[in-house]
A and B are shown apart, each in its own frame.
Chain A
């Protein structure tokens, strides 16, 4: 009895040690990021390292605004992520509805094809899509970051699963009342699937907000940059380390997503796991 209790204690101890060690590993970069962004430059590489400096200031943030118009950069990032998300949600809900609540010739094959496109890695189309964008004169605009992904295979799959559980009686009743097909979609389906749209929308928004390779290829002039791109391209004045400024921009890129995440955590997790479990 005693040994059993002892071994239980021991396992609990081991479990908590593991959890705390991993949590520390997860937290460390965040702490260091915030700490560095507030430090005066000469303390960044101080030995022994300083965690909370008594000389903390928001200088790096002010510098970001003065030199790089960071508010404008945040606005760019938001405009791209927001428009991409809204457009994607619209087309994914529409497509998901088409597959979930209608029967039509070729349905099975079309759906299988849609799922099949998910295995194509982006690297294969990198070059030709760039050529298309160049010929459309879309280089250095936001369009390449919004339009190509506007109807997303995963999103359509996700919405189809979601809409299949909506009762068809509502739709039939509306049809008998003489409602048009598009009105049924907007007035009946969209309100019912709002929670699913939230889950999917949050995932789309985060992916677009954090996208790096797209902006790297398509955005050329600094005033069009997004947050991830500006972090990459920051170089300080001669003779001064740039780390505090880089970390300040990193903190700025994290705060909006962190806020969203803490509010909508459950929805985000639902969206991420739906594909793995149902698929």
Chain B
């Protein structure tokens, strides 16, 4: 008898707890309904595709007909896939080519525009930000025109200074530099606006105090502004890292999908070609998985490195 009552008590309280939980959930039916569209859509267009993609990465499939299971074969092929690793390398190269320049320039411009010394603050801010609203296809083709080796405006301008025509889009490093120019052109204003907003959260007295204590403006910039701006700089750099590996439209339109000789090809272009040009859906899925893992680790490392300094 004593034993059963001991057994029963927790059971009862379990039922009561469950009941209480259900009442709580029922009471919250409105907020659940309000937030549900996101989770329903994510289930269909997020969770299911991610799982299906994982399954596909162990198969060979042309999109039609039977799906053939092949085990780790895709990943084994992937480790030896020169084009894929070359595209990852390109992502790195492009990252180091434009992210430091763009971030630094954005910060310097933001500091300049934030100090009330410059007249026409609004005018310059608007002007620098406008490229952000231009679609990248239009921008890509305009840059192609400007950078044309024989007839482009840029080489014509360089000729005035007796500089021989630069093979912008016809050489390996020319192609990369052209791509960086396009990306900086498109995103500098955006990053500058982020930095400007960050600067406005820093109390002006701090820099003033440093200047009164005898620091030069350059010292104030490096020892006061940059440390205080770390969170915003981190945000901007993390976005740009993902950006440099995810470059797609820029390359598709400016360098015709990664040319010359694949010097500007990035992982997303390779995945896109495998999937939508060659219809190797299994292989493309494996590739996108590996790509995601690498990018994820990279982002974590960045957070670790900068994050510690933020604290």
Answer yes or no: do A and B interact: yes
Having A29-B185, A269-B197, one finds 14 other A-B pairs with CB under 8 Å, namely A18-B109, A22-B188, A29-B143, A30-B130, A32-B142, A33-B142, A47-B156, A94-B37, A98-B30, A123-B268, A212-B253, A231-B137, A250-B142, A253-B138
B residues with a Cβ closer than 8 A to A are: 21, 24-25, 28, 30-35, 37-39, 41-42, 44-46, 48-50, 52-53, 56, 63, 105, 108-109, 112, 117-118, 124, 126-131, 133-139, 141-143, 145-146, 148, 150-151, 153, 156, 185, 188-190, 193-194, 196-198, 201, 217, 232, 235-236, 242, 246, 248-249, 252-253, 267-268, 271-272, 275-276, 281, 284-285, 288-289, 291-292, 295-296, 299
- A33, B138: Cβ atoms closer than 8 Å: yes
Q: Which bucket holds chain A's interface residue count?
A: 35 or more
A residues with a Cβ closer than 8 A to B are: 11-12, 15-16, 18-19, 22-23, 25-30, 32-33, 36, 44-45, 47-49, 91, 94-95, 97-99, 102-105, 107, 110, 114, 117, 119-132, 134, 147-148, 150-153, 156, 181, 185, 206, 209-210, 212-213, 216-217, 227-229, 231-232, 243, 246-247, 249-250, 253-254, 257-258, 261-262, 265, 269, 272-273, 276-277, 279
- Given A228-B135, A247-B142, A277 and B34 contact (CB-CB distance below 8 Å): no
A80 to B198, CA, bound (A): 34
User: When the two chains form the complex, which single residue of B45, B117, B118, B156 contacts A148, counting CB atoms closer than 8 Å?
Assistant: B45
Per CB-CB distance, the 4 closest pairs between chain A and chain B, nearest first, are: A98-B34, A250-B138, A104-B28, A128-B49
Q: Residue of A at shortest CB range from B156?
A: A49
Query: Could you tell me the distance in whole angstroms from the C-beta of B232 to the nearest C-beta in chain A?
Result: 6
User: What are 24 A-B pairs at a CB distance below 8 A?
Assistant: A18-B108, A26-B130, A32-B153, A45-B150, A91-B37, A94-B37, A117-B42, A121-B292, A126-B271, A127-B281, A131-B52, A148-B41, A150-B41, A153-B38, A210-B135, A212-B249, A228-B136, A228-B138, A231-B135, A246-B141, A247-B142, A250-B138, A265-B129, A276-B236
Q: B residues within 8 A CB of A273?
A: 193-194, 196-197
Q: A residues within 8 A CB of B56?
A: 127-128
Q: B residues within 8 A CB of A127?
A: 49, 53, 56, 275, 281, 284-285, 288
Q: Residue of B at shortest CB range from A229?
A: B137
Q: Residue of A at shortest CB range from B25?
A: A105
How many contacting A-B pairs (Cβ < 8 A)?
258
User: When the two chains form the complex, which single residue of A36, A110, A120, A210 contacts B50, counting CB atoms closer than 8 Å?
Assistant: A120
User: When the two chains form the complex, which single residue of B34, B118, B267, B271 contacts A185, counting CB atoms closer than 8 Å?
Assistant: B34
Q: Residue of B at shortest CB range from A227?
A: B135
Query: Could you tell me the distance in whole angstroms from the C-beta of A75 to the nearest C-beta in chain B?
Result: 17
- B145, A129: Cβ atoms closer than 8 Å: no
A156 to B30, CA, bound (A): 16
A47 to B236, CA, bound (A): 41
Q: A residues within 8 A CB of B45?
A: 125, 129, 132, 147-148
- A28, B146: Cβ atoms closer than 8 Å: yes
Q: B residues within 8 A CB of A103?
A: 28
- B271, A15: Cβ atoms closer than 8 Å: no
Q: A residues within 8 A CB of B24?
A: 104-105
A148 to B131, CA, bound (A): 27
A276 to B112, CA, bound (A): 20
- A156, B38: Cβ atoms closer than 8 Å: yes
- A206, B50: Cβ atoms closer than 8 Å: no
- Given A26-B185, A28-B146, A128 and B52 contact (CB-CB distance below 8 Å): yes
A247 to B142, CA, bound (A): 7
Q: B residues within 8 A CB of A231?
A: 135, 137-138, 141
- B38, A95: Cβ atoms closer than 8 Å: yes
Q: A residues within 8 A CB of B189?
A: 26
- B37, A151: Cβ atoms closer than 8 Å: yes
- A25, B185: Cβ atoms closer than 8 Å: yes
A265 to B193, CA, bound (A): 12
